[in-house]
Amino acid sequence: MPSYAKFIGMKRIFILFAILLSIEICDAQVSLTLITDNQLTPNSSDTSGVFCRTFYHQGRDKFYVVYASRALISPPGFNQYYRWEEYDSNFNPTGSRGTLPGVGNGGGDYAMTMVGNNYYHVTGTGMVAWQYRLTKFDEDFNLISSITFPIDSSDSKADMLLNYTNGKLIIGAFHQTGVTHPTMPQQQPSWTPYMHKWEFDTSLVQLGPPVYLNESFTTWGGSCIYNSSMYNVVTFDKWKGHFSGIFNLSVYRYDNNWNYIDSIPLNNDGQWSQGVLWDGTYYYVSYHTGRIHRGGNVNVSIYDVNWNQLYTTQLTNNQIFDTINNLPTLNTIQYNANRPFLTKVNDTLYVSYDQDDYICTDYTPVPQYHEGKRWQAHVAILKINNLTGINEADTDVRFNIYPNPASDQIMIDCNESGLLELFDVTGELLYSQKITKGQTTLPTTNFNKGMYLISFRTGNACVKKEVIIP
């Protein structure tokens, strides 16, 4: 059983008047430093951990990790439940754990997000072929409510999308017209799948009819984030067969009404981008690399507001094979790190992922692989290094907020027009508004108590200030 790595000095203590307030240039240099990589499974209860997700509870200063798993007595490949575990501010396990109620039997593919102190979970139903189940939990993972809604017979129940952005729960399914419950799209170079999208409010009320976004090539393992008055869908955009090694990561942009704007290529070896964050200055994107998807690694890239890549790093060090120039040795184990998810707390990034083993068993007619299905949950912890910045006093931009701590509203004074955004400490965008110079009032009654980041962007400058809502 693995030991849990510990690190010192990571305690999140929010002291308002000790915070350095700065203005950053949008093309500022930024990098990531790996602090530790924690393997969470196997442990005393679980033999596996797949679709690992990490969430931060600001009020408790605790982390909560969720993964699909099975008990020690179960055979490989059969997940039984969704496990949650609590970790302290230094990411040491507290011993508090449990299973998610109300999500049916089994532990299949799922997506999950945190809104305020509530959690939202979506998965395919086990008893009815063409349904998704959307479930809401409180901060202690007690069941609040659950609904099912129909999906098309041409929708996949694998690697669904769930994000909370622009005040809505966005759910996306991989859709391939004319194919019943599509699976293994990498083996189908002729397919042109796209996204089937639903929207719900936080009370699980559906907002309008579902929409087909046939400009987005696929959404297996994708993410959606709203920023700059656009929905940004990050997904891999094409392949040319299972063994070709063509997996292009792209962002597809839509306006407020989901009218297609354009697409931007991000990486020519990227898949399963299930972690995307915006912190007011940078996009953070986690994704899988690895050509044939039978041995690969987890990368994290950082982009500016226009999706120009500023930095990238590879977190894992698994050997990558292709079937042309670098064939694996028969019957040797190779590893695949996959399904990464991101959580940001102040200047620290938490990358959740799982790792599985594969064995190449035959070369006839093409390499054949046996999947071990012994997925193990990992959380890598990285320090964000922002290398460039100038003091607000050195610029003509003036941006003031008061009172701080806030009461029932925040008054904002600025001498420029620009974009105002409010983030929680995890980097979740909660509010966005274009404002003109002068005074703006921001009501706070709908926000939970805690520390927040207010970002004001004008031209190529981005001023950030922190505020407490008591």
Q: Which pLDDT tens digit goes with each residue over 303-335?
A: 999 999 999 999 998 877 665 566 667 777 788
Residues in the chain: 470
Burial of 84 (0-12, 13-18, 19+ CB in 10 A): buried
Tell me the C-alpha to C-alpha distance, in Å, between residue 182 and each of 122, 158, 187. Answer: 18, 9, 11
Count the alpha carbons within 13 Å of 172 in the hemisphere toward its beta carbon: 29
Q: What is the pLDDT of residue 25?
A: 34
What domains can be seen in the chain, in order of their start residue?
29-386 (2.120.10.10), 392-469 (2.60.40.3080)
C-alpha–C-alpha distance, residues 107 and 69, integer Å: 6
Q: Using an 8 Å Cβ cutoff, are 138 and 117 in contact?
A: yes
In this structure, how many other beta carbons lie within 10 angstroms of the beta carbon of residue 263? 16
**Residue 250 dihedral angles phi and psi, to the nearest 5°:** -140, 165
**Residue in the block written with tokens 């790190």:** 337
Q: What is the pLDDT of residue 64?
A: 98
**Positions of the chain with pLDDT lower than 50, given as ranges:** 1-27, 240-243, 388-393
Cα-Cα end-to-end distance for the chain: 42
Q: Which two tokens stand for residue 317?
A: 């060090």
- For the sheet with 211-213, list strands across it: 161-165, 168-175, 194-200, 211-213
Tell me the C-alpha to C-alpha distance, in Å, between residue 228 and each of 194, 419, 425. Answer: 23, 8, 20
Long-range contacts of residues 315-320, Cβ cutoff 8 Å, at least 24 apart: 315/34, 315/37, 315/340, 315/351, 315/353, 315/380, 315/382, 316/353, 316/355, 318/290, 318/355, 319/295, 320/289, 320/290, 320/291, 320/295, 320/296
**Residue in the block written with tokens 């709908």:** 446
Task: Report helix, strand or coil for 146.
Answer: strand
Q: What is the pLDDT of residue 130?
A: 83
What's the pLDDT tens digit per position in 53-100? 999 999 999 999 999 998 877 677 778 899 999 999 999 999 999 999
**Residue 185 dihedral angles phi and psi, to the nearest 5°:** -65, -20
Q: What is the pLDDT of residue 466?
A: 83
Q: Which two tokens stand for residue 263?
A: 């697409």
Q: What is the pLDDT of residue 278?
A: 94
Q: Using an 8 Å Cβ cutoff, are 399 and 427 in contact?
A: no
**Residue in the block written with tokens 């399904």:** 339
